[in-house]
């Protein structure tokens, strides 16, 4: 258990936000939390009920707020994710509800979602499918940014589905076009049978970490295992998703799949070998790591006997 240094004088009286942040940052850094200062500011701002950018102007923390912050710092030092402590996660222009039982959406997935938005933009009444939807981050971002899109989110986990439905209801209440939530296994050969040949954009952030990889404590202890691990080689969900994408997409429709950074050749390779796609591209993230692969369904809707070459897009 983390022992917190006492505030002078001995835990009583108001504490300046700057002092609370400095102390929290020390404790979090000692516990091995990356970005300790930023997280200390976020937690202090959360307890004070102000945006992080207004901390310098905030009132001192009361004794009760200091005690509450101490509790949160202890939990964060024990490597509970920050988003579980605040109950919220930012994703593109959204704030989503998250907690135990659902994968916390990651900033890198905003790239795939943004690519999907740009691909769907300009298509007439586009049909967009988000496989492995989790909290609904990708599906709800598309629905918010493209009011004309019909968006279908597919998820299997009952715990994740509860969060997904909650976020979907919240966004619909805020005025976004409601998304359709489907409870299904994305590896099922008959997935979304009624949509065969009619999907414009199919997006998927599947579980993709190979089973034997050791992940950070926040992930191991708090992200559901079925959201993270993708079988011995990490491709157990991606393989059937690639096959099903070719069936679901309309001619000229597009698919984007996020993957492990060790799969920068394997995933575009699967898309290229399928025979159903004409253009296959691997995309790098802002740090230059392979992050997601995309492909266009052949314009004739057929499957070629041999695959195509794929390319890398580093822009
Ligand atoms: C990496 S998380 C992605 C969640 C969300 N799309 C995001 O980007 O934050 C993968 C999600 O896939 C779900 N999942 C795993 N295997 C599945 C399957 N066979 N069918 C449907 N959903 C699955 C997990 O429950 C989890 O919510």
Percent of the chain with pLDDT strictly greater than 90: 93
User: Of 49, 47, 146, 46, nearest to 93 (Cα)?
Assistant: 146
How far apart (Å, rounded) are the C-alpha atoms in residues 27 and 229? 31
Query: Which residue shows structure tokens 């890398």?
Result: 312
DSSP 222-278: HS-HHHHB-STTS-TTHHHHHHHHHHHEEEEEEEEEE--TT-TTHHHHHHHHHSSEE
β-strand 127-131 against 199-204: which pairing, if any? Answer: parallel
Residue 172: Cβ within 10 Å count: 14
Are 69 and 45 in contact by the 8 Å Cβ rule? The answer is: no
How far apart (Å, rounded) are the C-alpha atoms in residues 142 and 192? 19
Condensed to tens digits (0 to 9), the pLDDT of residues 78-113 reads 999 999 999 999 999 999 999 999 999 999 999 999
Inform me whether the pLDDT recorded for 10 exceeds 50: no
Inform me whether the pLDDT recorded for 306 exceeds 90: no
Condensed to tens digits (0 to 9), the pLDDT of residues 178-195 reads 999 999 999 999 999 999
Condensed to tens digits (0 to 9), the pLDDT of residues 108-141 reads 999 999 999 999 998 999 999 999 999 999 999 9
| Contact 238 CB / ligand 1 (< 6 Å) | no
| Predicted local confidence at residue 7, as pLDDT | 53
| Predicted local confidence at residue 315, as pLDDT | 64
| Contact 83 CB / ligand 1 (< 6 Å) | no
Residue 35: Cβ within 10 Å count: 13
User: Of 130, 173, 120, nearest to 155 (Cα)?
Assistant: 130
pLDDT average, residue stretch 206-233: 96
Inform me whether the pLDDT recorded for 8 exceeds 80: no
| CA-nearest residue, atom 14 of ligand 1 | 132
Residue 68: Cβ within 10 Å count: 16
| Contact 37 CB / ligand 1 (< 6 Å) | no
């Amino acid at each position: 258990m983390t022992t917190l240094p006492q505030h002078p004088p001995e835990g009583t009286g108001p504490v300046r936000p700057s002092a609370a942040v400095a102390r929290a940052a020390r404790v979090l850094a000692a516990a091995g939390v990356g970005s300790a200062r930023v997280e200390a500011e976020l937690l202090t701002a959360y307890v004070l009920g102000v945006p992080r950018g207004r901390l310098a102007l905030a009132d001192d923390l009361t004794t009760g707020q200091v005690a509450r912050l101490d509790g949160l710092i202890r939990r964060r030092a024990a490597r509970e994710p920050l988003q579980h402590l605040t109950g919220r996660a930012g994703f593109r222009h959204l704030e989503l509800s998250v907690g135990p039982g659902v994968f916390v959406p990651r900033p890198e997935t905003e790239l795939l979602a943004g690519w999907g938005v740009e691909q769907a933009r300009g298509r007439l009444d586009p049909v967009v499918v988000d496989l492995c939807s989790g909290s609904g981050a990708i599906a709800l971002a598309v629905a918010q940014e493209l009011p004309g899109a019909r968006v279908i989110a597919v998820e299997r986990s009952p715990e994740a589905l509860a969060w997904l439905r909650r976020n979907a209801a919240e966004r619909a209440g805020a005025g976004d076009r409601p998304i359709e939530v489907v409870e299904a296994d994305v590896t099922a050969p008959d997935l979304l049978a009624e949509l065969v040949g009619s999907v414009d954009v199919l997006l998927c952030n599947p579980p993709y970490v190979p089973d034997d990889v050791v992940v950070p404590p926040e992930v191991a202890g708090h992200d559901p295992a079925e959201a993270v691990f993708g079988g011995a080689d990490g491709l157990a969900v991606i393989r059937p998703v690639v096959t099903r994408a070719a069936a679901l997409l309309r001619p000229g429709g597009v698919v984007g799949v996020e993957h492990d950074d060790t799969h920068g050749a394997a995933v575009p390779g699967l898309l290229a070998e399928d025979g159903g796609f004409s253009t296959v591209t691997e995309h790098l993230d802002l740090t230059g790591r392979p992050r997601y692969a995309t492909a266009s369904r052949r314009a004739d809707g057929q499957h070629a006997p041999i695959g195509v070459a794929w390319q890398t897009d580093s822009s």
